[in-house]
Amino acid sequence: MLDTHARKYVDPFINKTAHLLLKAKLSANQVTFIAFLVGFSSGLWIYLDMKVVALISLWLSGFLDSVDGAMARKTQTSPWGTLMDITFDRLVEISVILGLAFRFPSSMWALLLLSVSIIFAMTVFLTVGALSERKGIKSFYYQAGLAERTEGFLLFSAMIIFSNALTAITLLFLAVELFTTFQRLFEAKKLLS
């Protein structure tokens, strides 16, 4: 929801950073890979109980993930870049979940359910994107929903900061993820019928 409705407020900063990185001769795909490395490290920082470093890594990767898309739109988008972007996003999320699961094994069952809900959500999201004849600013149709990347990062941040309530926050994230998935399924029924 925030990615769709609040993007206009952060776009000037994203575009300025994209311009600077292009001027520095970096490609969108290189920034995608840098974002992945930075974000993937967050799981390690969580496991090592370095919460501040984990949060900085997570949010910096998310920012660079937005910047790489702006860079691609300023130069040339590619199916390979889209594949890298979507795949690396999931690997960053997996890293956070694994870091939390190994650091707090008593919450592992809730984190496993959250992982399953993310797989379900991405299956619906990507299938609708592939089947829809509509195209957005990305290489496929992007279905807005209650939980988008920013909401996920906010919930992951809460899970990292308030680890004493990890199971409860994880179950909240699970509920939000499932709500969004069914929201997208109902939209898909109208869109694809």
Those residues with Cβ within 8 angstroms of residue 67's Cβ, 6 or more apart along the chain or in another chain: 14, 17, 18, 21, 31, 35
Q: What is the pLDDT of residues 157-168, one digit of tens each?
A: 999 999 999 999
Write the burial class of residue 164 (CB in 10 Å: 0-12 exposed, 13-18 middle, 19+ buried).
exposed
- Cα dihedral value 49, 53, 54, 60, nearest 10: 180
Q: Position 30: which residue type?
A: Q
Percentage of residues in the chain with pLDDT exceeding 70?
91
16 confidence band (pLDDT: 50, 70, 90): very high
Q: What share of the chain is helix, strand, coil (3-state, %, to 5)?
A: 85, 0, 15
Segments making up each domain of the chain, as ranges: 2-192
pTM value is: 0.89
What are the E-state strand segments in the chain? none
Distance CA 21, CA 11 (A): 15
Residue 105 burial by Cβ neighbours in a 10 Å radius (0-12, 13-18, 19+)? exposed
Q: pLDDT band for position 8 (50/70/90)?
A: confident
| HSE-CB for 101 with a 13 A CA cutoff | 14
Q: What is the pLDDT of residues 104-128, one digit of tens each?
A: 999 999 999 999 999 999 999 888 8
Closest by alpha carbon to 96, among 170, 19, 180, 6?
170
CATH homologous superfamily of 2-192: CDP-alcohol phosphotransferase transmembrane (TM) domain (1.20.120.1760)
Angle between helices 166-192 and 108-131 (to 10 degrees): 20
The CA angle 24-28-30, to the nearest 5 degrees, is 75
pLDDT score, position 9? 84
